[in-house]
Amino acid sequence: MKTSTTAPPATANLRIRSLEPLVPPARLIATLPLSPAATDTVLAGRQAVEQVLTGDDDRLLAVIGPCSIHDIDAAREYAALLAGLARELSDRLLVVMRVYFEKPRTTVGWKGLINDPHLDDSFDVATGLRLARSLLIEIAAMGLPAATEFLEPITPQYIADTIVLGAIGARTTESPTHRQMASGLSMPVGFKNSTDGSLQAAIDAMHAARTPHSFLGIDNGGGTCVVSTTGNPSGVLMLRGGRDGTNYSAAMLADARTQLERAGLPPRMIVDCSHANSGKDHRRQSIVWRDVIEQRAAGDHSIVGLMLESNLHAGKQAVSSDRAALAHGVS
């Protein structure tokens, strides 16, 4: 009887083009450590955000910055200007810079600086992680706290130690993976309402994140592990509008407050002045900002913060691998 020497047909990784190892988080952190001053910024920033969320700090949280970071030099320049403004307004506002590196996509498009730092579909993630961490360290060294959106459970091991406020976006709030991840993050986390405008997914996510979870992730050495969390009680609802329009009116905020209270959650909200609340028109953000500020001034202290997309210059531009063709300081 003849024995076949033919290898069995492959059944795994049939659509995988390549598998490229990354530097372990511990090695990148050791190469780019937080300075003592930057560490103080992070710890003080987290405490301040938590106190705003609980009402122990009556300042308004203002999360301000570019839609997403694609130009490190422009981001650094913007951060220096914002840091000065943050100091000037520190008696009234707790200013946190929006420093987003990953872009959730409904279909396809540029995935952000961490995934594609060269804007050319080369997906040099190792460079993206290094650039992101370097920038966050610089911003913290300026005394300016930073916020970012987390899109998957790997990236936090590389940069979460620099962040004072995390965010789970409208497209991922329903995801069990993101809810579990949020339960282990070391900072407060905002949950955006769904793109259809519904608040229930975000409210459910806040409940889920308050609970301990165990899930698959990586450790600081880059090894696959079971991550067991204690739960994150510092969640907050972020209102960004929806398919049918805005959700920052007094009536809509009152309804959101009622839904939070019925769910047994703190009635605290951050209003996103961009996205559906502005009709994706950056010029309308100021209208949202003024309206919400007036509601807060009239006594609605369930409004604890606002988010505003901003850059060195107004407008938006298409992604291009030719950096010389990109306008400086425009999202």
Per-residue pLDDT averaged across 27-33, rounded? 98
- What pLDDT, on the 0 to 100 scale, is given for residue 79? 99
- What pLDDT, on the 0 to 100 scale, is given for residue 156? 97
CATH (domain of 150): 3.20.20.70
Give dist(CA 272, CA 307) in Å, integer.
Answer: 4
Overall number of domains in the chain: 1
According to DSSP, the residues that pair with 60 across neighbouring strands are 93
Residue 107's pLDDT band (cuts 50, 70, 90)? low
Mean pLDDT, the chain, whole residue set: 95
In a domain, 6, yes or no: no
More confident residue, 121 or 229: 229
Q: Provide the residue range defining the domain that includes 226.
A: 40-314
Residue 109's pLDDT band (cuts 50, 70, 90)? confident
Is 27 a residue whose pLDDT tops 80? yes
- What pLDDT, on the 0 to 100 scale, is given for residue 4? 63
In a domain, 330, yes or no: no
pLDDT tens profile 181-198: 999 999 999 999 999 999
- What pLDDT, on the 0 to 100 scale, is given for residue 321? 81
Per-residue pLDDT averaged across 149-170, rounded? 97
Per-residue pLDDT averaged across 135-147, rounded? 99
In a domain, 81, yes or no: yes
In a domain, 17, yes or no: no
**HEC sequence for the chain:** CCCCCCCCCCCCCCCCCCCCCCCCHHHHHHHCCCCHHHHHHHHHHHHHHHHHHHCCCCCEEEEEECCCCCCHHHHHHHHHHHHHHHHHCCCCEEEEEECCCCCCCCCCCCCCCCCCCCCCCCCCHHHHHHHHHHHHHHHHHCCCCEEEECCCCCCHHHHHHHCCEEEECCCCCCCHHHHHHHCCCCCCEEEECCCCCCCHHHHHHHHHHCCCCEEEEECCCCCEEEEECCCCCCEEEEECCECCECCCCHHHHHHHHHHHHHCCCCCCEEEECCHHHHCCCHHHHHHHHHHHHHHHHCCCCCEEEEEEECCCCCCCCCCCCCHHHCCCCCC
In a domain, 63, yes or no: yes
In a domain, 320, yes or no: no
Is 2 a residue whose pLDDT tops 70? no
In a domain, 12, yes or no: no
- What pLDDT, on the 0 to 100 scale, is given for residue 325? 85
Q: Which two tokens stand for residue 283?
A: 């010029």
Q: What b-and-e string marks burial along 56-84, b requiring 16 or more CB atoms within 10 Å of the CB? A: ebebbbbbbbbbbbbbeebbeebbeebbe
Is 73 a residue whose pLDDT tops 80? yes
Is 3 a residue whose pLDDT tops 70? no
In a domain, 28, yes or no: no
